[in-house]
C-alpha cells in the first residue's frame, strides 16, 4: 500500500498542474496576492499625498497646520512608500508568480502567507500609530541616538517577522517543486523570486540585530547606545532593500515583456547569472551610504567603492539583454535599418510603454549612481537633494513604473478580468503624467542638490541667505513635479481598483516568455543556491567583519537617547 | 553558456568603468590626500564641554595662512557661530556632536562630513574666493533642523 501511495503522489501533482493550467489562476492564491497588492496601492496613495504636502512645503508654497510637522510627514512618506508599498507589492507579485509557475501554492504556504500578512499589519499599526502621535519623527532610517517611542521599534520587529514568514513560505514551495521536478530548471520567474526572498531574508539580519539592540535602550533598560554600529547595521539592509525592488522590476523585464511584444527570452543562462550576481554582490553595497562617516578608515572606504560599483555589472548585462530582445523582436517583425526596430515596438501598449520608460530612466539613474559611489564625488552630493533626485529616478521611476506596468496584466489575471483599450489609454496617460512629473521633480532635485541644498529639511531660507534664496526657483519646479505626480498617483490608484473590481470579466494570461528555439541549454550549476549563498556570506564577511569588530570592541563611550522634535 | 560578441565588448566596457573609477578614486584619495573625512579619534559624547579642545571652541591661527576651527555641533546650532578668515587660508575644522548625528556642509565647496557623537571628525579646505559661505546641517536632527546654519566670511 505504502509504495502505491508514494508512486501516485507525483502523478497526482502533475494532474493538478494540468487542471490548474486549464482553469487559469488558483482562486485562493489570487486572493492573497490581490490583498497584498491592494495594501500596496493604498499605501501608495497615502504616501503620495504626504509627498505632495511635503513638496509644496519645501517650495515655500504651503504652510503646514500647527498639528502637523514636516518631519512627521516625511517619516510617514518614507515608511509608507519604502517599507509598505514596495514590500507588499513585491511579495504579492512573487507569490502570484510562484502560484503560476510552480503549479499553485502549497496549502501550508498559503497559510503562512496569511499569517505573514497578519504580522505585517500588526507591525504597520504600531509604526503608523507612533508616527501619527508624533512619537516617532525619526525618518525611516531612525538613526540613534535620536530615539522614538519603543513601540515604533517593536512594530518594525513584527514587519520583519512577517517578511521572514513569506521568505520561508517561498523556500518551502520552491523546495517542494524541486523535489517533484528533479534535474529540471526552476522556471525563470520563480528563480528571480528565490533571489529576492534570499535577499529579503539574509539582508534583514543586520537591521534585525540593530532593532533588537535599540529596543532595550528605547525602554530604558540600557543607558547608552553605540551609534556607529547601529548606522552600519542599518545600511547593510537599507541598500539591499532598494535592490530587492529593482530585482523584482527586472524580473518582469526579462520574463513578461518579451512575451508581451511577441519576442523570446534573450538568454536564459545570462538572466540567471544576473540574479546570482545581484544576490551575491548586493548586501555590501550599503556601505556607500557611510562614505563621509567618521569611525571607518580610508582603506575600508576605498574597498567599498569596488563593493558598491560591482553591483553595476549585472545592470549592464540587463541593459544589453533588454535592447537585444527589442532589436531581435523588431527585426523578426520586418524592421529594417539600424534603428528601424524602435518603430515597430508597441508604444501604445501600456504594458510595454511603462516598463520601457522604467528601463530608459535607469540609464541616467544608474550612471548617477555609479558617479556618486566614487568617494570624492559622493562627498559633493552626500545628503543633498541630489540624492533624493537619484532615488526618485531609480525607485520612483524605474521601480514604481515597472510595478505599474506589471499591474496592467497581473491584476486582471488574478481578478479574472481584462484590460480594455480604454483602460490601456488611461494607463498610457498615467505613465506619461508620472514620467513628466518625475522629470520636473527629480531633475530639479539633482540640480539644486549639486548647488548644496540639503535633503530632509523643511522650507527655510536660513535667514534670507543669498545662496539659499538662489535655490528657490528649483524648489518651485520640484513643487510642479510633485503636483503632476499626485495626479498620476490618484489615476494609478483608480486603475488598480478598477482592474480588480470593475473591468469586464474574462481571462488574462500571465505573460511568460519562452526561450528561443535552439537556444543553448542553461548549465545546471545555476541551480546550486547553497553555493551562491555561501559566496554571498563570504563577501558580506569580507566587507563587514573588520569594521564591525572595530566598531564593537574599539567603541567610543555610548550615547544617551535624545528626543529632538 | 554562450555570450554574444557585442555583449562581451559591452561587459568589458562595464569592467573598465569600474576599474577606471577605482584608479581615479584611489589616486585622488591616497596620492592627492582627498580621501573622504574619516575621523577615527574618540570622545565621550556626554563630556564634550570638559574635553579638550572642545572645552574652548573657536577659530585659532595655527600657522601662516593656516587656521583651525574647533567646533561643537548641537541642536540646532554650530559653535562658534560666526567664522571669519582671511582669503587664501587653509582651514581645518575639528568637530564633534554634543547630542544626535549632524551633518557639516558648506554650500559651494566640497566640505561635507557627518558628525557623529562619540567621534572627532576633521575636514580641511582652502578658501581662496572672497565672500560669505553658507554652513548648514544636512542630517535631519530634529524639529529645528532647518534653522541649523551659520556662515563663514572670507575677506
CB–CB of A380 and B13 under 8 A? no
Please report whether residue A221 resides in a domain.
yes
Q: Write the pLDDT tens digit of every residue in B39-65.
A: 999 999 999 999 999 999 999 999 999
Q: Is A495 domain-assigned?
A: yes
CA A282/CA A236 separation, integer angstroms: 9
Residue A8 lies in a domain: no
Contact B29 A145 (CB under 8 A): no
Exposure string (b/e) for A35-55, b if CB count within 10 Å is 16 or more? ebbbbbbbbbbbbbbbbbbbb
| Range among A10-24, A168-182, A515-529 with highest mean pLDDT value | A168-182
Residues of B with Cβ-Cβ distance to A564 under 8 angstroms: 75, 99-100, 141-144
Of the two residues A184 and A18, the one the predictor is more confident about is: A184
**CA neighbor of A519 nearest in space, from A285, A242, A328, A284:** A328
pLDDT tens digits for A310-369? 888 899 999 999 999 999 999 988 888 888 899 899 999 999 999 999 999 999 999 999
Is the minimum CB–CB distance between B117 and chain A shorter than 8 Å?
yes
ipTM score:
0.94
User: What are the Cα distances from residue A344, in Å, to A66, A326, A410?
Assistant: 55, 9, 24
- Kindly state whether residue A3 falls inside one of the protein's structural domains: no
Q: What pLDDT does residue A215 have?
A: 97
- When divided into structural domains, chain A yields a total of 1
- Cα A415 to Cα A299: distance, rounded to the nearest angstrom: 54
Reported confidence tier of residue B71, pLDDT bands at 50, 70, 90: very high
pLDDT of residue A286: 85
- B18 contacts in chain A (CB < 8 Å): 306, 309-310, 312-313
A269 at the B interface (CB within 8 A)?
yes
Is B18 close to A523, i.e. CB distance below 8 A?
no
Measured in angstroms, the CA of A331 and the nearest CA of chain B are apart by 17
Measured between beta carbons, which residues in chain A are less than 8 angstroms from residue B7?
A: 270, 317, 320, 324
B 83-112 residues with CB below 8 A of A? 99-101, 103, 105-108, 110, 112
State the pLDDT at residue B4. Answer: 81
pLDDT on residue A285: 84
Cis peptide before B76 (omega within 30 of 0): yes
Residue B4 forms contact with A (CB below 8 Å): yes
Question: What's the mean pLDDT in A80-85?
Answer: 94
B-chain residues near A316 (CB < 8 A): 10-11, 13-14
A209 touching B (Cβ < 8 Å): no
Chain A from 283 to 302: CB within 8 A of any B CB = 290-298, 301-302
CA distance B9 to chain A (A): 11
The C-alpha of A253 sits at a distance from chain B's nearest C-alpha, in angstroms, of 18
Could you tell me the CATH number of the domain that includes residue A478? 1.20.210.10
Closest chain A residue to the Cα of B107, Cα to Cα: A452
Give the pairing type, strands B66-74 and B89-97.
Answer: parallel
Instruction: Please state, in angstroms and as integers, the Cα–Cα distance from residue A106 to each residue in A13, A98, A414, A475, following that order.
Output: 11, 10, 17, 51
Q: Check pLDDT > 50 for residue A89.
A: yes
Instruction: Render pLDDT for B73-123 as a digit per residue (tens, 0 to 9).
Output: 999 999 998 899 999 999 999 999 999 999 999 999 999 999 999 999 999
pLDDT of amino acid A1: 35
pLDDT class for A14, splitting at 50, 70, 90? low
Q: Above 50 in pLDDT, residue A254?
A: yes
Query: Which residues make Cβ contacts (< 8 Å) with residue A334, sequence separation at least 6?
Result: A344
Q: How far is the first Cα of chain B from the last one, in angstroms, to the nearest whole number?
A: 65
pLDDT at A23: 54
Name the residue in chain B with its Cα closest to that of A71.
B143
Stretch 439-458 of chain A: residues touching chain B, C-beta under 8 Å? 451-458
**CA–CA separation, B95 and B123 (whole Å):** 9
Q: How confident is the model at residue A6 (pLDDT cuts 50, 70, 90)?
A: very low
3-state helix vs strand vs coil in chain B, percent to 5: 20, 40, 40
Cα distance between residue A405 and residue A355, in whole Å: 6
Using the Cβ of B45 and the Cβ atoms of chain A, whether some distance falls under 8 Å is answered with yes
Contact A324 B38 (CB under 8 A): no
- In a domain, residue A547? The reply is yes
- First-to-final CA distance of chain A: 70
Give yes or no for residue B145 having a pLDDT over 90. yes
Q: What mean pLDDT, rounded, does chain A reach?
A: 92
Q: Which residues of A touch B54 (CB under 8 A)?
A: none
Least confident of A96-105, A419-428, A484-493, B25-34: B25-34
pLDDT for B66: 96
In the structure, what pLDDT confidence band is assigned to residue A25 with cuts at 50, 70 and 90? confident
The C-alpha cell 488611461 sits at: A426
C-alpha cell at B107: 554650500
Give the closest-approach CA distance of A145 to chain B in angstroms: 6
Q: Which three cell numbers stand for residue A62?
A: 504651503
Give the list of residues 6+ apart from residue A1 with CB closer than 8 angstroms, or none: none
pLDDT, tens digit, for every residue of A38-80? 999 999 999 999 999 999 999 988 888 888 899 999 999 999 9
Answer whether residue A559 is part of any domain: no
C-alpha cell at A296: 571607518
DSSP B16-66: HHHHHHHHHHHIIIIISS-PPP---EE--TT-GGGSTTTTS-EEEEEETTE
Range(s) of the domain holding residue A114: 18-553
Output A428 or A519, whichever has higher pLDDT: A428
Whether A2 maps to a domain, the answer reads: no
Looking at A21-25, A451-455, B75-79, which range is the least confident one?
A21-25
Side-chain half-sphere exposure of A563, counting CA atoms within 13 A = 8
pLDDT value for A11: 45
pTM equals 0.93
Question: Which residue, among A507, A275, A562, A273, has the nearest Cα to B143 in the 3D structure?
Answer: A562
In a domain, A9, yes or no: no
Mean pLDDT across the stretch A114-123? 97
Amino acid at each position: 500500500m505504502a509504495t502505491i501511495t508514494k508512486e501516485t503522489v507525483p502523478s497526482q501533482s502533475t494532474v493538478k498542474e494540468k487542471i490548474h493550467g486549464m482553469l487559469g489562476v488558483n482562486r485562493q492564491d489570487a486572493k492573497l496576492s490581490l490583498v497584498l497588492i491592494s495594501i500596496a496601492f493604498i499605501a501608495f496613495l497615502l504616501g503620495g499625498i504626504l509627498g505632495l504636502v511635503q513638496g509644496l512645503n519645501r517650495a515655500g508654497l504651503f504652510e503646514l497646520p500647527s498639528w502637523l510637522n514636516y518631519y512627521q510627514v516625511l517619516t510617514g512618506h518614507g515608511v509608507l512608500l519604502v517599507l509598505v508599498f514596495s514590500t507588499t507589492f513585491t511579495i504579492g507579485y512573487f507569490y502570484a508568480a510562484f502560484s503560476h509557475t510552480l503549479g499553485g501554492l502549497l496549502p501550508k504556504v498559503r497559510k503562512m502567507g496569511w499569517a505573514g500578512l497578519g504580522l505585517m499589519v500588526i507591525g504597520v499599526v504600531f509604526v503608523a500609530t507612533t508616527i501619527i502621535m508624533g512619537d516617532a519623527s525619526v525618518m525611516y532610517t531612525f538613526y540613534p541616538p535620536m530615539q522614538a517611542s519603543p513601540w515604533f521599534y517593536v512594530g518594525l520587529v513584527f514587519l520583519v517577522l512577517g517578511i521572514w514568514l513569506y521568505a520561508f513560505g517561498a523556500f518551502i514551495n520552491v523546495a517542494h517543486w524541486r523535489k517533484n521536478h528533479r534535474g529540471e530548471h526552476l522556471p525563470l520567474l520563480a528563480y528571480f523570486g528565490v533571489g529576492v526572498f534570499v535577499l529579503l531574508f539574509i539582508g534583514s539580519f543586520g537591521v534585525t540585530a540593530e532593532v533588537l539592540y535599540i529596543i532595550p535602550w528605547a525602554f530604558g533598560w540600557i543607558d547608552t547606545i553605540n551609534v556607529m554600529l547601529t548606522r552600519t547595521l542599518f545600511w547593510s539592509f537599507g541598500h539591499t532593500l532598494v535592490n530587492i525592488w529593482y530585482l523584482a522590476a527586472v524580473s518582469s523585464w526579462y520574463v513578461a515583456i518579451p512575451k508581451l511584444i511577441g519576442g523570446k527570452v534573450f538568454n536564459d543562462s545570462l538572466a540567471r547569472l544576473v540574479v546570482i550576481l545581484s544576490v551575491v554582490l548586493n548586501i555590501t553595497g550599503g556601505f556607500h551610504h557611510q562614505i563621509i562617516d567618521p569611525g571607518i578608515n580610508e582603506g575600508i572606504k576605498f574597498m567599498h567603492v569596488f563593493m558598491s560599483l560591482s553591483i553595476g555589472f549585472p545592470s549592464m548585462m540587463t541593459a544589453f539583454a533588454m535592447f537585444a530582445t527589442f532589436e531581435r523582436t523588431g527585426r523578426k517583425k520586418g524592421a529594417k535599418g539600424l534603428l528601424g526596430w524602435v518603430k515597430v515596438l508597441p508604444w501604445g501598449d501600456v504594458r510595454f510603454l511603462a516598463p520601457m520608460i522604467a528601463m530608459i530612466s535607469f540609464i541616467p539613474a544608474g550612471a548617477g549612481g555609479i558617479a556618486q559611489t566614487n568617494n570624492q564625488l559622493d562627498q559633493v552630493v552626500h545628503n543633498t537633494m541630489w540624492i533624493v533626485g537619484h532615488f526618485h529616478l531609480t525607485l520612483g521611476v524605474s521601480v514604481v513604473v515597472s510595478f505599474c506596468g506589471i499591474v496592467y496584466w497581473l491584476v486582471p489575471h488574478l481578478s479574472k478580468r481584462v484590460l480594455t483599450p480604454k483602460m490601456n489609454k488611461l494607463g498610457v496617460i498615467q505613465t506619461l503624467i508620472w514620467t513628466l512629473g518625475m522629470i520636473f521633480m527629480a531633475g530639479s532635485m539633482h540640480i539644486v542638490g549639486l548647488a548644496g541644498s540639503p535633503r530632509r529639511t523643511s522650507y527655510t531660507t536660513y535667514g534670507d541667505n543669498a545662496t539659499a534664496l538662489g535655490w528657490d526657483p528649483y524648489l518651485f519646479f520640484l513643487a510642479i513635479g510633485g503636483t503632476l505626480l499626485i495626479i498620476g498617483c490618484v489615476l494609478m490608484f483608480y486603475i488598480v481598483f478598477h482592474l480588480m473590481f470593475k473591468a469586464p470579466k474574462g481571462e488574462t494570461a500571465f505573460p511568460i516568455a519562452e526561450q528561443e528555439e535552439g537556444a543553448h541549454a542553461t548549465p545546471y550549476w545555476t541551480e546550486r543556491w547553497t553555493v551562491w549563498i555561501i559566496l554571498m556570506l563570504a563577501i558580506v564577511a569580507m566587507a563587514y567583519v573588520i569594521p564591525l569588530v572595530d566598531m564593537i570592541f574599539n567603541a567610543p563611550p555610548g550615547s544617551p537617547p535624545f528626543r529632538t522634535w | 553558456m554562450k555570450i554574444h560578441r557585442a555583449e562581451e565588448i559591452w561587459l568589458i566596457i562595464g569592467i573598465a568603468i569600474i576599474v577606471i573609477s577605482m584608479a581615479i578614486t584611489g589616486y585622488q584619495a591616497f596620492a592627492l590626500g582627498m580621501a573622504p573625512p574619516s575621523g577615527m579619534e574618540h570622545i565621550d559624547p556626554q563630556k564634550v564641554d570638559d574635553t579638550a579642545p572642545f572645552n574652548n571652541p573657536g577659530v585659532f591661527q595655527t600657522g601662516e595662512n593656516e587656521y583651525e576651527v574647533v567646533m561643537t555641533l548641537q541642536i540646532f546650532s554650530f559653535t562658534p557661530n560666526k567664522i571669519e578668515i582671511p582669503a587664501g587660508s587653509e582651514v581645518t575644522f575639528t568637530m564633534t556632536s554634543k547630542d544626535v548625528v549632524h551633518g557639516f556642509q558648506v554650500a559651494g565647496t566640497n566640505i561635507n562630513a557627518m558628525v557623529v557623537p562619540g567621534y572627532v571628525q576633521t575636514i580641511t579646505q582652502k578658501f581662496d574666493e572672497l565672500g560669505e559661505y553658507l554652513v548648514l546641517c544636512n542630517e535631519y536632527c530634529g524639529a529645528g533642523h532647518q534653522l541649523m546654519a551659520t556662515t563663514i566670511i572670507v575677506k
